[in-house]
Every structure is written in C-alpha cells, then in structure tokens.
C-alpha cells in the first residue's frame, strides 16, 4: 500500500511540475522571440495624457493610478504573468534624477504577499550593481532609464513608488492566458536565477553568436537595377543570421537596394523592404549596431530567428550601381514547429499626409506577435535649440480591437527621453535592444531609432493596428519611413 501511495504521489508531482511555467526558462533566451505567444497578452501602464494633449507627465496629472498610504501606485494587474519593462526619464528638464531626488524606493508586490518582493531605491535598479538587475537588462542613457528584468507572478502584481513625485513613466506586463501555473518571483538574491539573468545581460552587451549547424554563402554580382537571389532548401530549418558583406565604397548603393524574402512555397514575399530598413541602418554615415541588427565588422547583419519549413528565397534588387557582394545565412535547427514566419510591414509618408491622423507602423490581420520597430524621420526643427518636436507623438497598439498600449512620446517608446537637452537625447547612441543611431539637428532635423521586444513582445490573435502621432495630435508635417517586424502565423 505504501508503495502504491508513493507511486501516486510521484505521479501527481510530475503532473504538477509539468503544469508549471518558469518564466526565466521559457522567455529569457534570444530564440524565444520567435516562439508563438498565443497564450500571452501585452499591456502597459503609463502617464499618457488621457485627454489627448501633451501632458504626459509634465504636470503629473496622469502619473499614477492612485495614492495609497502616501505612495504612488503606478501599475496594478490581476491574473498570472510577469512584469517585463520599467521605464522612466528624468523628472525635470535640466536636473538629473527621478521622482523628487530623495532616493525614493520602488515597491513591487505580488500575489498575496503583504510585504514587497522588491523594495529598494528606484534609481538603484537601473545602475547594474544590484544582484538580479544586471547591465544589459538594465541601464540608462540618452535620457532614459530602463529595466527588462522579468518579475513573474501567479495571480497579482502592483508597482508603486514612495511619495507623490512621479512624472514620466511606463510599466509593461506580459499577461499569461494559458493553463499552466506561473512560478512566482521569490527572492532577488536567488543564485540560479541571477546567474541566468547575468548571462543574458552579458550576452546582450557582448553580442554573443549562436552555434549554427552550417553557413550557406554565395557571392553575387548584380547589375544596376538587376536582381539576384539565394535559395536555401532545408526542411524544418531556421536562419539564425543573415549577413551581407560589400566593399565600403558600394555600401551606400547597397543600402538603397530592395530586399525580398519568400518562405516555403509562398508566392508573395513576407519581407519586402528597402535593404537598409531590414538591417536597421539609416545610411552609410550612421553605422551602428544593436543585438539583433546593424553593421559590424564590415557586414550588415540581422539575427532575428527566421524559421521556415521547406525553403527560403532571398532576393536582392540593386539600385543605381552594379553590386558585388557576399550573402551569408547561418542555418540552425528550428526552435518551434508552428508556422510563424518573420514578416515585415514597410510604410512611408513623404511627408505625412493627414493632419490629425497618426502615422501607421503596422496594420494586419491574423495571429502573431510584434517584435521590433525601426523608424526614420526628417522634419523642420523648432526654435533656436533645433528641437525635433514631432517626437512628441505617442505610439498606440490596438490588439484584437482593444487598446493595450498608449505611450508618452516617440523618444520614450525607444527608451530615451528629453530630446535636445544636454546629456540626454541630444546625440546618437546605441544599446542592445534600443537606440537612436541617427540624431542630427539643424533647421532640418533627422532622427532614426530602433527597439526590439525581446522580453516584451506584443501578441495578437485576430488583428493588430500600431500607430504613432507625428507631433502632438499629428500637427507636424515630416518625412516618415518605418518597418515593423513581427511573426505571423501562416493560414493553411
């Protein structure tokens, strides 16, 4: 009898174990960005002006949900999931620091705990010196303070800060809708978890290369306005990195070329963009790189996972010059067996057409998840400081007919802040998951930026519509070019 009980208990423990979801194991890796997110939903709390103006934190009108025991509650949600992103910018125009500069604490409560699982000075979580909050996942620069350390919870999470000095903020959650139980955060000094987070942070900063099964490489000689292609035949394959090498004096012409990628037997390309947009490079004068894309060691590269089942066809159409280049694809084993293809949505308005209507980043139907944005803008600046006032525009994500995310300004979406202020967003800069590789201001200003949603992807089941204002209430006319990166499930 005791043996039977032991067997039953062991069986129950196995089932219980299998029904748990460990956020750190399932989402804290680079390949997870391509995995289906059908059991997830993304939401954000922010200080955006609920009346449609530009009071996104300046007066603090919308900078909290409520005051509770003297603290400002910034975000609160029920159900399971994880806290995926925290962003702040300096509270004042030309004074560095957050809140009222008194070392106020951030307090994070989860589940039924009456004491916070995180209780520490807010500014400290962005420094990279605290266990569990490593550089790469946290940091500050170009006016923004950002944290991507996941804090999982099984049924409740609340984020608050001491005092009433909040101004500009954003807090993102990934909400879990599946049938597993999320394993909650326990201790920020947990050794195994911190080792995993430290490794992720170091890899983000170091640009670690994945181990691939083989590299498919071809040299191309493409006449001006001509086409050439590379076709890869491999069942259940995945491109882990696409790179292009060309002589520096022809790089400008290559960036003006067109890139198309077809997956399997599809007649229409899933990717059809100006080549520079796919690699998140504004032009040959601004050659920066992020973790997922850019220009490094003489090569353009994009390492967003690109799964396919039968074959992949990569086509390049030259612009105004003959091109001699080398195209390389690092091919590895596909990480999932569902037909979610990397897809792009390219848009441009030269200039923005409609006063009062926002610029579209993405509009599509189907099931998938949004993973990245690259945006190029150009417009007249304002005043003697040459301010890019069009960056006041807020981004809005509407998923399945419901507004899930409403931002506080374009530069805030890209984890930066306070454009034109010395020591903040007044120059170009690049970080692993976000940055402004181009920021040049004169009477005409140019600003280009990128952001990758590694830990905060935005899922949709039926449709997604993503827009950004060009200036407050879309009042600024400018040239906009953008590409949205997302994974879309194939309809059989």
pLDDT higher than threshold 90 for residue 187: no
Same domain, 33 and 134: yes
Give dist(CA 478, CA 471) in Å, integer: 9
Query: What pLDDT score does 339 carry?
Result: 81
217 is a domain residue: yes
CA neighbor of 468 nearest in space, from 368, 295, 347: 347
Structure confidence by residue, pLDDT tens digits, 274-308: 999 999 999 999 999 999 999 999 999 999 999 99
Q: Which is more confident, 492 or 133?
A: 133
The token pair that represents 357 in the structure block: 């209507």
Same domain, 159 and 283: no
307 is a domain residue: yes
Arithmetic mean of pLDDT, 317-338: 87
Domain's final residue, options 286, 318, 337: 337
Query: What pLDDT score does 288 carry?
Result: 95
Same domain, 7 and 148: yes
Q: What is the pTM of this model?
A: 0.94
133 is a domain residue: yes
Q: For 142-236, where are the E strands, in sequence order? A: 144-147, 151-153, 156-162, 169-176, 181-182, 214-222, 227-233
Same domain, 216 and 172: no
Query: What pLDDT score does 32 carry?
Result: 85
Percent of the chain with pLDDT strictly greater than 70? 94
Structure confidence by residue, pLDDT tens digits, 344-399: 999 999 999 777 899 999 999 999 999 999 999 999 999 999 999 999 999 999 99
Dihedral angle at the C-alpha atoms of 373, 336, 301, 272, nearest 10 degrees?
-60
The token pair that represents 81 in the structure block: 């999931």
Q: Which is more confident, 336 or 321?
A: 321
Same domain, 75 and 180: yes
408 is a domain residue: no
* pLDDT band with cut points at 50, 70 and 90 for residue 135: very high
Arithmetic mean of pLDDT, 118-131: 97
Domain's final residue, options 146, 171, 206: 206
Same domain, 162 and 264: no
Structure confidence by residue, pLDDT tens digits, 193-235: 999 999 999 999 986 655 556 788 899 999 999 999 999 987 7
Are the C-beta atoms of residues 396 and 370 closer than 8 Å to each other? no
Same domain, 167 and 31: yes
Give dist(CA 224, CA 213) in Å, integer: 34
**Host domain of residue 163:** 2-206
Query: What pLDDT score does 8 carry?
Result: 37
Percent of the chain with pLDDT strictly greater than 90? 85
457 is a domain residue: no
CATH of residue 326 = 2.60.120.1390
CA neighbor of 460 nearest in space, from 384, 348, 368: 368
432 is a domain residue: no
Query: What pLDDT score does 134 carry?
Result: 96
Same domain, 58 and 199: yes
The token pair that represents 372 in the structure block: 């990245």
Structure confidence by residue, pLDDT tens digits, 16-41: 445 899 999 888 888 889 999 999 99
Give dist(CA 36, CA 487) in Å, integer: 8
Arithmetic mean of pLDDT, 113-140: 96
Same domain, 168 and 295: no
* pLDDT band with cut points at 50, 70 and 90 for residue 435: very high
**Residue 245 CB burial class (10 angstroms; 0-12, 13-18, ≥19):** middle
Structure confidence by residue, pLDDT tens digits, 70-122: 999 999 999 999 999 999 999 998 899 999 999 999 999 999 999 999 999 99
Structure confidence by residue, pLDDT tens digits, 239-263: 999 999 999 999 999 999 999 999 9
User: What is the number of domains present in the chain?
Assistant: 2
Arithmetic mean of pLDDT, 316-333: 92
pLDDT higher than threshold 50 for residue 54: yes
Domain's final residue, options 294, 318, 337: 337
pLDDT higher than threshold 60 for residue 11: no
Same domain, 103 and 245: no
Query: What pLDDT score does 254 carry?
Result: 96
Query: What pLDDT score does 417 carry?
Result: 97
Peptide bond into 351 cis (omega under 30): yes
CA neighbor of 413 nearest in space, from 49, 76, 85, 176: 85
Same domain, 11 and 29: yes
412 is a domain residue: no
Same domain, 55 and 185: yes
Query: What pLDDT score does 10 carry?
Result: 43
418 is a domain residue: no
């Amino acid at each position: 009898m005791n043996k039977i009980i032991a067997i039953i208990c062991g069986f129950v423990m196995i089932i219980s174990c299998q029904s748990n979801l460990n956020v750190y194991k399932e989402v804290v890796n680079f390949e997870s960005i391509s995995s289906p997110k059908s059991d997830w939903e993304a939401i954000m709390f922010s200080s955006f002006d609920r009346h449609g103006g530009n009071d996104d934190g300046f007066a603090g009108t919308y900078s909290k949900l409520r005051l509770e025991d003297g603290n400002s509650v910034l975000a609160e949600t029920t159900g399971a999931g994880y806290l995926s992103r925290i962003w702040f910018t300096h509270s004042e125009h030309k004074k560095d620091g957050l809140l009222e500069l008194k070392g106020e604490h951030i307090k994070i409560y989860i589940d039924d705990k009456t004491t916070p699982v995180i209780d520490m000075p807010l500014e400290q979580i962005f420094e990279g010196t605290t266990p569990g909050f490593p550089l790469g996942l946290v940091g500050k620069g170009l006016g923004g303070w950002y944290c991507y350390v996941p804090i999982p919870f099984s049924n409740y999470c609340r984020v608050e800060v001491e005092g009433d000095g909040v101004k500009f903020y954003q807090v993102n959650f990934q909400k879990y809708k599946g049938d597993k139980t999320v394993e909650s955060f326990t201790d920020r000094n947990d050794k195994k978890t911190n080792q995993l987070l430290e490794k992720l942070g170091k890899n983000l900063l170091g640009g670690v290369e994945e181990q691939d099964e083989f590299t498919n490489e071809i040299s191309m000689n493409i006449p001006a306005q001509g086409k050439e292609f590379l076709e890869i035949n491999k069942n259940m394959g995945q491109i882990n990195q696409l790179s292009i090498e060309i002589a520096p004096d022809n790089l400008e012409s290559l960036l003006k070329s067109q890139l198309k990628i077809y997956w399997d037997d599809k007649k229409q390309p899933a990717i059809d963009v100006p080549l520079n947009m796919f690699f998140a490079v504004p032009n040959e004068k601004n050659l920066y790189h992020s973790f997922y894309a850019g220009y490094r060691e003489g090569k353009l590269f994009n390492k967003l996972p690109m799964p396919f089942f039968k074959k992949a066809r990569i086509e390049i159409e030259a612009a105004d010059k003959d091109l001699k280049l080398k195209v390389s694809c690092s091919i590895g084993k596909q990480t999932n067996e569902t037909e979610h293809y990397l897809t792009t949505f390219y848009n441009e308005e030269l200039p923005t057409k409609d006063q009062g209507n926002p610029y579209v980043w993405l509009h599509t139907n189907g099931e998938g998840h949004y993973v990245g944005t690259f945006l190029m803008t150009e417009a007249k600046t304002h005043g003697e400081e040459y301010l890019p006032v069009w960056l006041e525009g807020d981004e809005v994500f509407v998923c399945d007919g419901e507004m899930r995310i409403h931002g506080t300004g374009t530069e805030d979406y890209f984890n930066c802040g306070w454009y034109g202020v010395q020591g903040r967003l007044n120059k170009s800069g690049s970080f692993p998951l976000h940055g402004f590789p181009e920021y040049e201001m004169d009477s005409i200003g140019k600003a280009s930026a990128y952001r990758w949603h590694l830990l905060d992807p935005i899922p949709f089941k039926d449709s997604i519509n993503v827009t950004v204002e060009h200036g407050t209430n879309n009042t600024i006319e400018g040239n906009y070019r953008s590409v949205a990166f997302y994974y879309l499930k194939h309809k059989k």
